[in-house]
Amino acid sequence: MSIVTTFVILRLTQRKDLRQAVETDVPAVPLTRGGMTAALGIAATATALLMASTLDTQLGPPTAGAGLATALVVLAMERKAPWAILRRVSWGVLPLVAGLFVLVEALDKSGVINTIATLLRDEAQRSTSAAA
């Protein structure tokens, strides 16, 4: 239901933009040295997250550490100060993400998540298609 609702709302609110023509003749721009380093950093971050997940540890610290290390390496290679990156960060997203974490934690502490998980598990035992 949530996926269908999200789709319908996005379709209705974004229909004007979706009707625009899609540019097909887009020149390919090769990655710079910094771009290649960032791509390798993303791959290293994915590997670190897989390892952390395998070890059943929290994913936040490895993600933050790998992102910071990648940014520092790219900045060092390009010989640039971090101020340009900090100015372009979408700071308005941080309160949203923090609010979502608080909301999920509140749902967990109140028992709502556990109740929903139990209901879903019980329904899946009866009928996986109905649970889906």
Helix (H) or strand (E) holding 105: helix 93-110
DSSP 7-23: HHHHHHHHHHHHTSPPP
pTM, 2 dp: 0.54
Number of domains forming the structure of the chain? 2
Q: Report pLDDT digits (tens) over 9-38.
A: 988 998 888 888 888 889 999 988 888 999
Classify residue 125: in a domain, yes or no: yes
Both 84 and 39 in one domain: the answer is yes
One domain for residues 47 and 80: yes
55 and 103 part of one domain: no
| pLDDT in the model for residue 24 | 87
Residues 95 and 53 occupy one common structural domain: no
Tell me, yes or no, whether 10 lies in a domain: no
Domain-located, residue 122? yes
Q: Which domain holds residue 45?
A: 31-89
What integer is the mean pLDDT of 43-51?
93
